[in-house]
Every structure is written in structure tokens, then in C-alpha cells.
Amino acid sequence: MVFREVMSRTESAGRTGEAILEVAQEHPAALTLRGPGFLLEADLGPGRHGAVWLEPPRSPEGRSAVVVFGWCYRIGSGRGDMNAEDLAWLLETHRQAGQPDLENLSGTFCLVSWDHRSGTMWISADLWGQQGFYYGSNRDEMVAGGRAEEVAQRLGASLDGFSYLSLLRGCEISPGRTLFAGVHRATPGRSLRLDLRARTARLVQTQPLFRPIQKIGFAEAVDQFVEVIQRVIPAAAEPPGTCVDLSGGNDTRMAAAVLAQARGGEIGRRATFRVAGPEGHKDVVTARRIAQTMGWNLVRDDRDSPLGYTEEALLQAARLSDGKFLLPAVMNRLAQERSHPQATGLVGCLAGELFRDYFWRQEMLNLGRTNQLNYPAFLKHKFYASPEVEAARISRGRMRLEDHDEALLNPYRQLDQGLPPVRNVYKLDRFYHFKMMHSNWSWIVADSRKVIMPFHSHEISRVSMTIPWRLRLGRRIITTGIQRLEPRLAAIPTDDGAPMEPLGWRTWPRYLAWLAWDVHSAYMRHFGRRRPSPFPPAGFSVPQAGLEMIFAGRLLPHLYDVQPALQAAKATSGRDLKRPQYLELQALLLVEALSRVYPGLEPALDFETPGADILHPEVDLLPPSALGRIAAAG
């Protein structure tokens, strides 16, 4: 998605009390708004996932517009997308209330709403910021857009040292940060308000992150769970060409159970389901059993597909990475997508965990008994940040690993401070969405696929996150709901052997056997001397094309002492590397590729720029001393 604006404080915004912008459309999926000191360019991209709406002209002096990127729908409309009537309604709420009515929108989206009467523009994302936007500023201008790389290119930003260390440690970039210093990602509930008359840009918390917990019992919780997924998921999966994730786990089973009975089972029979993994993997075995039981079409994506490592492919991967993912992750994702090139939409099931206790387990005995969070446990069991990184060498003595640990936790501490003093489990529910902002690899293909994450949507999450935590312990809600929707799917255990039928006299022996395995696994995760790792101690390789790009790079010597990494690559020819060596070389490769695609980036690591302000409800993005040009580029 693309949007670009330029604004000057010194120029008049328009006549007769209105901000006048000239409107141009090259095609129905693109829009340009241009005026004195202002330019906005919006393009839905090659996939054209979203909608562009122009208000019918009522006078020759100006027109308002709304652009929606991604999967967005009006709650209660009965549709899975926005039509002209919905977009006109959204603009009217902008005029009447001073901001668009985001409370009654759901999906995973980003939108731009321009009202020429008030001279204001809002850039907003879905509640949990899954398809978010980026912003940053220098002394001359403020920039916002749909891709962090292009915002950084316009600003001439350097690399963010904190985020670079996150890549080296194998963990996610902190919420609000990006790989580029001073370029921030809008965190959940945040919107950007531009005022063309006052020439101001302000980040505003437009949606609450906490809603009161319901006082309901288990039966009512199951009713709400079943009702909301029956309403949302079929509409998301109904469009032709939709591909739905299917695995052996719990969360994809929820979507499968809904699609098995929606429209008499027609949507499930028409959709293409997909599972990722080698033949014989337990995920694949369980998914095949489900598909055969229901008579569905299943496609297997091979995670080990051969990758064509050429310089051109690496540069393409750098563009798609947006600085969040190392290049092999991007190329693997692209290789998986080749198994179903005709798919126009992708329905994933991340955030289904919020209907069960998966994300809370590191709290152990404190679970639901305190409003204090166990931050060391959260860091250890949810970040998996490697301690085998030479932080002093990378930062030239400016940072220790302990400092980086605190930088990882700082956004969550801010969020904790801004939430009411509720039980720790309810805080962790919000932490989950913040953590997933940089974790979801599906966004790599968002330009070519309409990425739909129903459980992240406002409509489902406001149910999952307001059900009392005790009712979500274990998998009671899930198993009861699936049994109600489709008993045939409840009869198939998960990939790790967990029963999908509700606990009862008939099923308790199977639950007991699985519980013994689960308790042992949890013990090893939390108390074992060596935490199980999905990675081998050695055996990682960097392809020859990548090594050539690294060795030829002119940017890398300006960052820090990279010689230890280069010497390891030369000594092994890039093969049989230990994981820390591999991650450093891949991070260097990403930086070098980005510098070739975006030559305006400054070759330096910045350890001084603070992270995003998550705590305060309003933040001015242009200081009074700024020259006042505001730009947004996607």
C-alpha cells in the first residue's frame, strides 16, 4: 500500500473555510490528492485488496475520500468487506465525531479518511495493529506510510541498533520499533491525525486496549465463542480463491469446524486448505486426516523447498522483508506460496490462542492471582533471545545484553503502566497482540494475497479477551465449541495427541495420558537445565550468492567490527556455521541488500533513538521548531 503527503505550515490550506485538494485517479484502485503544500498518493497495489471511494462532487471546491487497505468490514453489515455505502458512512462519522468510527469496524486493515470540510485526515489501522502503518520525522518533515523501508529511505534514516541486535539474538523487534532508527510502527489502537489548516501531525490513542471483563458462566462463554466465529470466519473464507490454513493444532480446528457447517458445508468444500511441512510430519498427517474426513481439498507446502539464491532473488526478498525478517524466512515463505499461485486470499488462525491458556503458562503459580507480571519469565519463555551475542562489539561498547533485554521489555512495561490494575492474565492477553506485530510471516505476501486473520479482528478479540480467564483455562471452550459445531472433527486428536472432545467420563483416560506428557514437557521448558531449542547447535549455511553480496558490501565496515563474522564465513565457506554466526551473517546480508534497494539509508547503527511512546494518549510528531513539511510515503 502507498500513501504520500507533503504539507507546509506557511501556505494557505484553501478558501471558504475548507481545505481544497485536487483529485486525480489513474485507475479505480489508486487515488492522488494534491493541494497547496500537500500531496497524498494511495494505491492498493497489484492485488487491489481494499477499496477507494471518492465522495460525489457537491461543489467544484473540493472532495473528500476514504481509502481502505486489506481486509475490513463494518460490524453488523453482514458483509466481509466495505462497499460504497459503508465508506460513505465512515466519512460521515469522521465529520460528526471528529474521527472515523473505528469501534464498528473489524478486520486487519489500514485506512485513510480525508474530510475536506474540516481539513483533517486520519490514518488508522485495525485495533491490534496487524496491518499497521509507519511514521517518522526529521527536522524538515514528518513521513508516514505502509512500508518502513520507504519511510526510512525518504528520511535518510540510519539503522536502529536495538532492532539490529534483536535480529542477531533471533527474537522479534520490539513493538513500536523498526530496523530503522526513528521510524516507528503504530502500536495497537493508535491513529495519526493530520490537520492541514494548523499544519500539525498528532498520534492519538483512538481505541481502548482494555474492556471490562464479562460476568458470565461457562455455557454463555461457549455460546459467545461459537456465535462470533460462525459470524466472522465464513464471510472471511467465502470469496473465490481463498486458501485456509489447516494444521494438527487447536486453532485451525476452530476455523475448520465453522467451515464444515457454514452454508451447509459449501464454503469448506469450495475453499483450498493448506498445511506446511514435510510428508509424514505429524501436522501433515493430522491435516490429511481432517481433509479426508470432510472431503476437502488440501495442499501441502514444503518448508524445505529448494530456494533459488541469486542476487536478484535476494534483493526482491529484501524489499518484501520490510526490515522485519531475515532473507531466508522471506524466501521460504515465497517458495511455499508457489504451491497455490492462484490463491487471492489467505485465512490464518493466529490469535486463536486467546480462547485458551497458551500464552500465560510462563506465569505458573502466579496465574490470575496477582496484577504483577513476571517479566523475567516473560523474557525467557516468550522471546527466546539468544545470550550468545557480543553486544559490546556490535554496539562499540554502548550496550550490554542486559540493556537490550530491558529495551525488549520496555514497550510492555509502558503498556502495563497504562492498563488498569487487572489480573496478570488480562495484561498478557494484550501483550500477545503487541508481540505478534512483528511475528506474523504472512504479511510477507500481503501485496499478492489478501491476508485475513479473523482471531486478531476486533469483533472476535473483544469476545476472547473479555471472557473470564478461568473459563479459558485449558481448552474447555474450544473443545466444547468444536464438539457442538462438528463432532467428526472433535473425534480427531491434535498433532501432539491432545483429545479434541470435551473432558468427560468417556474421554478422561485419553486426557490423563496426554496430561502426563504435557506436564513433563512444561517441566522441561521451565525448569530443565537446557531449554529445548528447535535449532541444532551447528549446521547452518549461508548461500554463495549471499556471501558474495556480503564480501562486496561497502556499507558493512561502517557499522561495527564485522571481521569476526566475515572470518567465520571465509573459514567455513559459509557452511556448518553455529547459530550466532549464521544470524549475524544473515543480518549483514539483509542490511547490505536493503542498502542496494534503498541507497538513501545512512550506513550507521543508532543506539540513541528512543522507542515509540506507547503510554501517552496523544503525542505531537512535529516539534514547534520543525520547518513543517509533512510527508507520507508507502
Identify the pLDDT of residue 181. Answer: 96
Residues 6 or more apart whose Cβ sits within 8 Å of residue 584: 168, 389, 565
Lowest-confidence pick of 208-212, 220-224, 336-340: 336-340
The three-state secondary structure class of 194 is strand
Whether residue 530 is predicted with pLDDT greater than 60 in this model: the reply is no
Residue 179 — pLDDT band, cuts 50, 70, 90?
A: very high
Q: Say if residue 239 is in the same domain as residue 309.
A: yes
Question: What average pLDDT does range 581-609 have in this prediction?
Answer: 93
Taking only the tens place, the pLDDT of each residue in 486-515 is 999 999 999 888 899 998 888 888 888 877
Give the Cα separation of 477 and 229 in Å (integer).
Answer: 12
Taking only the tens place, the pLDDT of each residue in 401-442 is 999 999 999 999 999 999 999 999 999 999 999 999 888 777
Lowest-confidence pick of 398-402, 422-426, 577-581, 621-625: 621-625
Q: Say if residue 203 is in the same domain as residue 57.
A: yes
Lowest-confidence pick of 118-122, 140-144, 300-304, 562-566: 300-304
Q: Say if residue 293 is in the same domain as residue 317.
A: yes
Identify the pLDDT of residue 19. Answer: 60
Identify the pLDDT of residue 14. Answer: 45
Residue 61 — pLDDT band, cuts 50, 70, 90?
A: low
pTM of the full predicted structure? Answer: 0.91
Q: Say if residue 94 is in the same domain as residue 135.
A: yes
Q: Say if residue 119 is in the same domain as residue 250.
A: no
Identify the pLDDT of residue 540. Answer: 86
> Does a structural domain hold residue 522?
no
> Does a structural domain hold residue 87?
yes
Q: Please provide the DSSP assignment of 536-591 as one string.
A: -SS-B---HHHHHHHHT-SSGGGTS--HHHHHHHHHHTT-SB-HHHHHHHHHHHHH
CATH number, domain with residue 294 = 3.40.50.620
Q: Report strand pairing: 141-145 vs 629-631.
A: parallel
Domain count, the chain: 4
What residues make up the domain containing 82? Answer: 6-207+612-631
3-state secondary structure 432-486: HHHHHCCCCHHHHHCCCCEEECHHHCHHHHHHHCCCCHHHHCCCHHHHHHHHHHC
CATH number, domain with residue 121 = 3.60.20
Q: Please provide the DSSP assignment of 98-152 as one string.
A: SS--GGGEEEEEEEEEEETTTTEEEEEE-TT-TT--EEEE-SSEEEEES-HHHHH
Whether residue 8 is predicted with pLDDT greater than 60 in this model: the reply is no
Identify the pLDDT of residue 402. Answer: 95
Question: What average pLDDT does range 84-90 have in this prediction?
Answer: 96
Q: Which of 109-123, 338-352, 437-451 has the highest mean pLDDT?
A: 109-123
- Provide the residue count of the chain: 634
Residue 120 — pLDDT band, cuts 50, 70, 90?
A: very high
Taking only the tens place, the pLDDT of each residue in 375-385 is 999 998 899 89
| Number of other CB atoms surrounding residue 172 within 10 Å | 23
> Does a structural domain hold residue 514?
no
Whether residue 629 is predicted with pLDDT greater than 50 in this model: the reply is no
Identify the pLDDT of residue 10. Answer: 37
Identify the pLDDT of residue 3. Answer: 44
Question: What average pLDDT does range 13-17 have in this prediction?
Answer: 45
Strand partners of residue 455: none
CB 585 within 8 A of CB 542: yes
> Does a structural domain hold residue 461?
yes
> Does a structural domain hold residue 336?
yes
Q: Say if residue 156 is in the same domain as residue 19.
A: yes
Q: Say if residue 389 is in the same domain as residue 371.
A: yes
Residues 6 or more apart whose Cβ sits within 8 Å of residue 483: 490, 500, 501, 502
Question: What average pLDDT does range 150-164 have in this prediction?
Answer: 94
Tell me what percent of the residues of the chain surpass a pLDDT of 90. 57
Give the Cα separation of 314 and 459 in Å (integer).
Answer: 38
Whether residue 1 is predicted with pLDDT greater than 50 in this model: the reply is no
Q: Say if residue 471 is in the same domain as residue 408.
A: no
Q: Which amino acid is at 238?
A: E
Q: Say if residue 16 is in the same domain as residue 97.
A: yes
Selected residue with higher pLDDT from 480 and 30: 480
Q: Say if residue 169 is in the same domain as residue 318.
A: no
Identify the pLDDT of residue 623. Answer: 52
> Does a structural domain hold residue 556?
yes
> Does a structural domain hold residue 537?
no
Q: Say if residue 288 is in the same domain as residue 389.
A: no
Mean pLDDT of the chain: 87
Taking only the tens place, the pLDDT of each residue in 461-471 is 999 999 999 99
> Does a structural domain hold residue 377?
yes
Whether residue 168 is predicted with pLDDT greater than 70 in this model: the reply is yes
Q: Say if residue 224 is in the same domain as residue 182.
A: no
Give the Cα separation of 460 and 85 in Å (integer).
Answer: 24
